[in-house]
Structure 1
Amino acid sequence: MSYVITIAGGGSGHTPGILLTALRYRKEFLINEIRLYDTDEVRNEDMRIIMDFLLKREHEDVKLVATSDPKDAFTGCDFIFSQIRVGGMEMRELDEKIPLKYGLVGQETCGLGGFAYGMRTMKGFTEMVGFIQQYPPDAWILNYTNPETIVSETVRRQFPNIKIINACDMTIGIEMLLERSFGYDRKNLVATYYGLNHFGWYHDIYDVTKGRDVMPEILEKIKQQGFNTEGTEPSWAHTWNIMADMQRVFPDNLMNNYLQYYLFPDKIVESANPTYTRANEIMDGRNKTIKENVAKIQENRDLDTIDYKSVAHGQYIVEMAMSIIHNQNKRFMLIVPNMGAIPNLRPDAVVEIPCYVNAKGVEPISLRFDIPDFQKGLMEAQVAAEKLLVDAFFENSYQKALEAFTLNQTVPNATVAKNVLDDFIAANGDYWVNLK
């Protein structure tokens, strides 16, 4: 059987990696049509040109469509791979720079920048899910769209029966870092992880070749050696170095690197350039490369320098699709309602935990242990702040938004929370719901 997939946010620089990963599994996941859906028609057309080039280079006979029309994008498709970025890099730049103006963490998914992005994404994502429910109601949405926990909570409330799996590839990134740094093979690791999206910890990491939990030795290696950042782009090398420092301060569990924004916001702000953030790096790097590659293809020159590869981002989402199609019951770290999986955390929290994926969808794994008070306290404050933000979206409530901003753990007081909130309201305009 062959499948039609729609990549929502088709203009993203991650799209070629998804394609090339899917082509690696063409026998198990035969695709006859790929649709690129994006509201930014220029970026979508640029990516169509690149994708067409890659398909021809790989000698693949796959129909390719680029569209901004949701009916054309979704009607009759089997899977939607969602990676939309409402507002694009231009709004991400403001997400990062407005908090920094007040001495707060400026980041795309964490802190108040993440909340601003969340408010935009809730509006754009629910509109898209409404289209999907109308045109291909039986299609699976495999969602990478951030901020994942906020998106998941929003969809759960408005579309409780939609077929969606919310996933993040950051745990793969961490496990690949362990491979590169210490020689472990990720395929031989069975990890137990818990938390919220971009806000979690490993409880244990079982190596099937050794027959034991190797997390204690991993933690000791991090303490003694740090991570291998050779060949890593500077911003990520900096991230991994901070993560190693975090592990030395909190040595009991391997943690998600994004916790740096909540545990050490002072260091993050101190090292940040408020006039040139990660968004600027991407605009001057990945996005510029897309334009350059389009020009090379159109001018038929230097084609051998166009270098796209299958990467972890694509691997995770393609493997989920195959686990559904072939009822493989593979294990992934996914974002799901808690419902007792973490026994001592509120049941209505949206958590990231190990799950099995099969033809029925997602089956979460119950952890059967209580998480420590330190981690529980951090998580419950974050859950409450995120739920208040989703309340603000559905209720058009300025008060709930202010409470969410004030409770965010990167914020020292309500005065600065209100100042940042008011700046974001002015900057986002119609991207946000009208808060009253």
Structure 2
Amino acid sequence: MRLTILGGGGFRVPLVYGALLGDRAEGRVTRVVLHDLDAGRLSAVARVLAEQAAGDPDAPEVTVTTDLDEALRGADFVFSAIRVGGLEGRAADERVALAQGVLGQETVGAGGIAYGLRTVPVAVDIARRVARLAPDAWVINFTNPAGLVTEAMSRHLGDRVIGICDSPVGLGRRIARVVGAHPGEAWIDYVGLNHLGWVRGLRVAGRDELPRLLADPDLLGSFEEGRLFGPQWLRSLGAVPNEYLHYYYFNRETVRAYQRAEKTRGAFLRDQQAGFYEEMRRPDAAALTAWDRTRAEREATYMAENRDAAGAGEREDDDLSGGYEKVALALMRAIARDERTTLILNVRNRGTLGVLDAEAVIEVPCLVDANGAHPVTVDPLPGHATGLVCAVKAVEREVLSAAESGSRTTAVKAFALHPLVDSVNVAHALVDGYTAVHPGLAYLS
């Protein structure tokens, strides 16, 4: 089986390859094609993968290419993890937003809209090429903003594109752990959009353990989201939000923390990864050792500003192991081998949430088999969550419309309607600022 990874020079690709190395079952991935626009980054990542595979005669073969069509032909699965504009673009997204006093995070608020506006046209082009060159392939999208980009691609690929995110998986794992359950034996009642969802129940052996968790301050204080949001707020909600909802519930505090930070997250990663790729220019560099060291620092500083604003402390060791590569492998195995499983994924709504139309991409538990991912019926969201989901989905639709039409006016509307922007004047300033620094937004007029 052949897997093509778009964004193959990306820093997290070795996580995916490491997961593939652990798969010994029949029908596993035997060939990996890495595609990237940057040949130097491709070479660096290929060196890390070669060291990972050292001594393993059955390791998947790795090839690299900068030709997109060549990468797509013959693919069984396409893993899309591109970053349009690179980490310099992410840093610019943060900088422009913070100058206007609003959040610049890459998937939430102004930064997410800017990232979406320059990513959607590229993702749509990829979807069209997949439909033409590899019509039987399944696309697994991790490109952010994951829900928005998956919806854009689904307009050309239908249900053969599925979005993944490790955030709900990590949240479910942490909750199961603190109530003494094995994550694989727990049913997680999770619903929302990507980076905008809530755990409303955790069923173990037919019993919902979430009420017990919410009633116990010590248990709530023992995991990251409990410390991030605070026991009182979680009990008020009657649910445990995805960590990204901290940007909504504690927006002012988070923006201040980002403004005080020595570097934004994007700037930190830009500089950190530049150091890694520069080190890989030395032929004698120990590629895997350098990658491991850089990854550990990256994971330990994840959402550091939010934890600082909440006084949540450092991340626990168990939360530093990533997870999206495991979701991707489980998804591929379920489809390729008809190994039925349940995963929280980004898929088309199909009536699952009555407040959204059938084509809206949502993030919910799905039953996965050889025919793809099928969303599980869920109870309606409470009013406060429904309002937030509908407002953000409306913004996503404006982003898609602006990307399709090239309308600057529609782009301004997308920014102005977002709950974390809340000003038409700021929206105009954001569009002016982003078009000034991003050549990829020159299509807006």
Q: Give the structure-2-normalised TM-score.
A: 0.87
Q: Quote how far apart the aligned CAs of 1:121 are.
A: 1.1
Change (3 A) 1:227 1:90: farther
Q: Quote how far apart the aligned CAs of 1:311 are.
A: 4.2
* Structure 2 counterpart of 1:299: 284
SS of the residue corresponding to residue 178 of structure 1 reads helix
Q: 2:101 aligns with which of 100, 103, 107?
A: 103
* Structure 2 counterpart of 1:264: 250
* Structure 1 counterpart of 2:202: 205
User: Would you say 1:279 and 2:266 are equivalent positions?
Assistant: yes
Change (3 A) 1:261 1:4: same
User: Would you say 1:363 and 2:406 are equivalent positions?
Assistant: no
CA distance in 2, matches of 1:162, 1:218: 36
CA distance in 1, matches of 2:10, 2:231: 32
* Structure 1 counterpart of 2:187: 190
Identity %: 29
Q: Quote how far apart the aligned CAs of 1:106 are.
A: 1.7
Alignment of 1:362-401 (within 5 A): 362-367=373-378, 369-401=379-411
Q: 1:31 aligns with which of 29, 32, 43?
A: 29
Contact preservation (8 Å) 1:82, 1:143: yes
User: Would you say 1:124 and 2:122 are equivalent positions?
Assistant: yes
CA distance in 2, matches of 1:287, 1:220: 46
User: Would you say 1:175 and 2:162 are equivalent positions?
Assistant: no
RMSD of aligned Cα (Å): 2.5
Q: Quote how far apart the aligned CAs of 1:58 are.
A: 3.6
Structure 2 unaligned regions, length at least 5: 297-320
CA distance in 1, matches of 2:284, 2:232: 48
Q: Quote how far apart the aligned CAs of 1:200 are.
A: 0.8
Change (3 A) 1:52 1:303: closer
Q: Quote how far apart the aligned CAs of 1:347 are.
A: 4.1
2:196 maps to a residue whose letter is F
Structure 1 unaligned regions, length at least 5: 230-238
SS of the residue corresponding to residue 335 of structure 1 reads strand
Change (3 A) 1:56 1:40: same
Contact preservation (8 Å) 1:397, 1:435: yes
Contact preservation (8 Å) 2:123, 2:152: no
Q: 1:50 aligns with which of 25, 44, 48?
A: 48
Q: Which shows bigger deviation, 72-81 or 173-182?
A: 173-182
Contact preservation (8 Å) 1:171, 1:256: yes
SS of the residue corresponding to residue 339 of structure 1 reads coil
Contact preservation (8 Å) 1:100, 1:274: no
Q: 1:350 aligns with which of 358, 361, 370?
A: 361
Change (3 A) 1:183 1:416: same
Change (3 A) 1:302 1:167: closer
Contact preservation (8 Å) 1:22, 1:29: no
Q: Which shows bigger deviation, 342-351 or 112-121?
A: 342-351
Q: Quote how far apart the aligned CAs of 1:321 are.
A: 0.3
User: Would you say 1:62 and 2:71 are equivalent positions?
Assistant: no
SS of the residue corresponding to residue 187 of structure 2 reads strand
SS of the residue corresponding to residue 187 of structure 1 reads helix
* Structure 1 counterpart of 2:240: 254
* Structure 1 counterpart of 2:211: 216
Alignment of 1:64-83 (within 5 A): 64-83=62-81
CA distance in 1, matches of 2:268, 2:227: 19
